[in-house]
Chain A
Amino acid sequence: MNLLVLTKRVPATQEEELRIVGDGRAVDLSKVPFKVNDWDNYSVEEAVRTVEKTGGAVTAISVGDAESDEVLRRAIAMGAKDGFLIETEEVIHDPQARAALIYTFLKKEALPYDAIFTGVQSEDDQFASVGGILAAKLGLPYASMVIGIDAFEAGHVVVRRELEGGMQERIKVALPAVLSLQSGINEPRYVSIMGVRKASKVERKVFKATEYQEHVKRMIDVVKWVYPVKKGGAVMLGGELDTVCKNLLGILKEKGVYQ
C-alpha cells in the first residue's frame, strides 16, 4: 500500500492567552509555540503501522510556511519515507481553498496512492472538512471519524467510525479512498529529538503553492475575530491555596457529596 498522509503545523493554544489585534483583523500568535496537529500525529502513526503490515510507503504532505518542514521531519522520524511541503506564507482558513490546493497538487504531481489519511480536524480551525472536500473532488469514497481499521486489503478497507455516545459503525470502503482518522485510534510512538535530527538527513521536497492555484478559489471570508461571549457564571475562589481548598471542601459538603 502506498499511503499519503496530510500533516499540519498548528499553534499550541491550549494554555495560551490569545489576543485579538488590529480591531478584530487578526489573532496574535507571535508568542505561541507551534507543534504537530494532534490528530495528524495519530494519522501518521496509523499510516506507518499500516505499511509495516502491508508493505509500501508513506509520504507525508504538509501545506504551510517553511517552518512546517518540522512536521515533515517528525513524520519521517516516525517512519514516513518522504516529506512534501506545499509552501505558502498565507494562512488558508477556507477548507475549500485548502482542499483545492491539495487536489491540484495531487493531480499535477500524479502521486500514486492507495489511500489518503488525514486527521479528523486540526486543532486550530476545527473545520474538520478538508478530507471530505478533497475526497469529493477526487471522486473517491470517504469516511471520517475513523477510530479503528479492522482490515486493509486489496481493493477495500473495513473501518469503524466513531458516532456519539459510545456507539460505532463498521463500514466497508473501496480503495482508493480518503480516510479522516480520529484521535485515540492508536498510541503514537515516541519521537526523540535525536530521531527528528536524523530524519532531517532525508531529503524533503518543497513545492510552491503558487504553482497549484488552478482550482483554488476562496469561498468564505473571515470578517472579524471576536472573543466568546462571556456568560460570567463562575464564582472565582481566590486567596491562599489552603483557604481555597477549605472553601472547596465546604462547597462539596454543602452539595452533600462529601461529609
Chain B
Amino acid sequence: MSYALVVAEVRRGLFEERNLDSLGLSHLLGMETTLLMPDGAYTVGERVASTIIRVRTEETIFLNPLAMTQIVRKVIEAKGLPGAILFTSSSSGIELASYLAGALDLPLITDVSGFDAERGVFLKSYYSDKIFGEFKPKEGAFVLTVRSGSFKEHAVEQESAAAVEVLDGIIPPEGRSFVEYVEEEKGEIDITKADFLLSVGRGIGSKDEIPAYEELAGILRAVLSGSRPVIDKTWLPKPRQVGTSGKTVRPKVYLAMAISGAFQHIAGMKDSECIIAVNKDPEAPIFQYAHFGVICDANKLRDKMKDIVKKG
C-alpha cells in the first residue's frame, strides 16, 4: 500500500497546530501516514501517524526548500515514492511544496480545503474564495498544501504508537541559509486587546477615506484596524493588520467595512464574538462568516452613522 508523507511545519520549537489538517487529509486519502519532522523537543502525539521520521538537522535547515528536496529524496530512496506528499498552506509550507514539486516533477495543488474521496477531486479556492475549482491530479504521486482549519477533525489517533525512524546525513545547502528571526516593530496600540474593532478594507477606495473612519471609530470608541491591502497600500500602519500575516483578533464586536474576506483575513478574525460585515458585493465571502450583514457602500454607511451618533 502506498503511503502519504506528511511534512510537519515546526517553528521555533513548536509543532504547528495546522499540521493536524495535513494529518486529517492524509487520513481521508486512505493511505498509511508517515510524518516527517526534524529531531527535537517537539510535543507530538505518538499516535498521530504510523511512522514518524525524525530528521537529524536543525529546524531552520529542515524548512529550507533546498534541504527539504534533499530530505525527501532520501526518504524516497529508502521507502519508495509516496502516494501523496502533504504540506501546510503557510508561508513555509507553500514555499517547500512548490520547490519540491518542481524538483520531483509531481502534480501540485495548493490551498486544498476539501476532498471528495469518491471522485478523487480536491477543492481549491479561486478569486479569493468566490469560486472553487475541483482539481484532479494525474495518476500517481502528487503534492498538496492543506488549508488551515479544513481537515483537523479527521486527524484521528492510530491504534498504536508510531514507529520512529531516524534520517541522518543532511548536508546544509549552500544556496540558501538562515540568518535570524526578526520581530516586527510594535505599534502604539495593540489591536488584539480591543473589545471593539472597526476594520476597513480596500473597498473604501482610497487613503483619503481613512480620516472619516478614524472619526467614526473615535465616536464609537472602537479601535481602527485593516485588512492586508490597506496595510500594503500604507493607508494604515502594519501593527493594525488583521489576518494570518498580521494579528489574530477575538474582539466582542468586529465591524468589517468594505472587506471582502480573503481567507487569510478570515483566519485572523473568525473567532470574534460578533462579526458585522458591510459590503456592497452581496457575494463577498465575508458574509458567510458574519453574524450580521449589510449590503451597501461602506462609506455611505459610515457617514450616516456619524450623523446619527452626533445628533445623539
- Residue of A at shortest CB range from B268? A165
Q: Which of A135, A137, A172, A233 contacts B290 (CB 8 A)?
A: A233
With A143-B176, A172-B176 in contact, do A235 and B245 touch (Cβ < 8 Å)?
no
Q: Which of B222, B238, B281 contacts A17 (CB 8 A)?
A: B281
User: Which B residues are CB-close (under 8 A) to A193?
Assistant: none
Q: Render B162-205 as a binary contact track against A, CB cut-off 8 A, 1 for contact.
A: 00000000000111111111111000000000011000001100
A113 to B: closest C-beta gap in Å: 16
Number of interface residues of A (CB under 8 A): 90
Residue A168 is within 8 A (CB to CB) of chain B in the complex: yes
Residue A2 is within 8 A (CB to CB) of chain B in the complex: no
In contact, A136 and B100 (Cβ under 8 angstroms): yes
- Residue of B at shortest CB range from A184? B232
B12 to A: closest C-beta gap in Å: 8
> Considering the complex, which residues of chain B in the window 20-57 have a beta carbon less than 8 Å from any beta carbon of chain A?
none
Q: Render B207-251 as a binary contact track against A, CB cut-off 8 A, 1 for contact.
A: 000000000000011100000110111100011000011111001
Most chain A CB within 10 A, of B65, B123, B252, is at B65
Residue A114 is within 8 A (CB to CB) of chain B in the complex: no
In contact, B91 and A163 (Cβ under 8 angstroms): yes
In contact, B283 and A132 (Cβ under 8 angstroms): no
In contact, A241 and B304 (Cβ under 8 angstroms): yes
Q: Which of A47-55, A66-74, A118-126 contacts B (4 or more CB under 8 A)?
A: A118-126
In contact, A225 and B131 (Cβ under 8 angstroms): yes
In contact, A257 and B252 (Cβ under 8 angstroms): yes
In contact, B287 and A234 (Cβ under 8 angstroms): yes
In contact, A96 and B108 (Cβ under 8 angstroms): yes
In contact, B11 and A141 (Cβ under 8 angstroms): no
User: Which A residues are CB-close (under 8 A) to B277?
Assistant: 234
Residue A140 is within 8 A (CB to CB) of chain B in the complex: yes
In contact, A171 and B138 (Cβ under 8 angstroms): no
A246 CA / B66 CA spacing, docked (Å): 57
Q: Render A148-179 as a binary contact track against B, CB cut-off 8 A, 1 for contact.
A: 00000000001011111111111111100100
In contact, A95 and B291 (Cβ under 8 angstroms): no
B60 to A: closest C-beta gap in Å: 8
B51 to A: closest C-beta gap in Å: 26
In contact, B128 and A123 (Cβ under 8 angstroms): yes
In contact, A144 and B132 (Cβ under 8 angstroms): no
A170 to B: closest C-beta gap in Å: 4
Q: Which of B95, B110, B126, B276 contacts A251 (CB 8 A)?
A: B276
Most chain B CB within 10 A, of A96, A127, A137, A257, is at A257
Residue B155 is within 8 A (CB to CB) of chain A in the complex: no
User: Which A residues are CB-close (under 8 A) to B134?
Assistant: 222-226
B122 to A: closest C-beta gap in Å: 9
User: Which A residues are CB-close (under 8 A) to B229?
Assistant: 38, 183
In contact, A257 and B195 (Cβ under 8 angstroms): yes
> Considering the complex, which residues of chain B in the window 128-145 have a beta carbon less than 8 Å from any beta carbon of chain A?
128-138, 142
Q: Measuring CB to CB, which residues of chain B are less than 8 angstroms from any residue of chain A?
A: 11, 60, 65-66, 69, 90-92, 94-95, 97-103, 105-111, 119, 121, 123, 125-138, 142, 173-184, 195-196, 202-203, 220-222, 228-229, 231-234, 238-239, 244-248, 251-253, 260, 273-274, 276-277, 280-283, 285, 287-296, 300-301, 304-305, 308-309
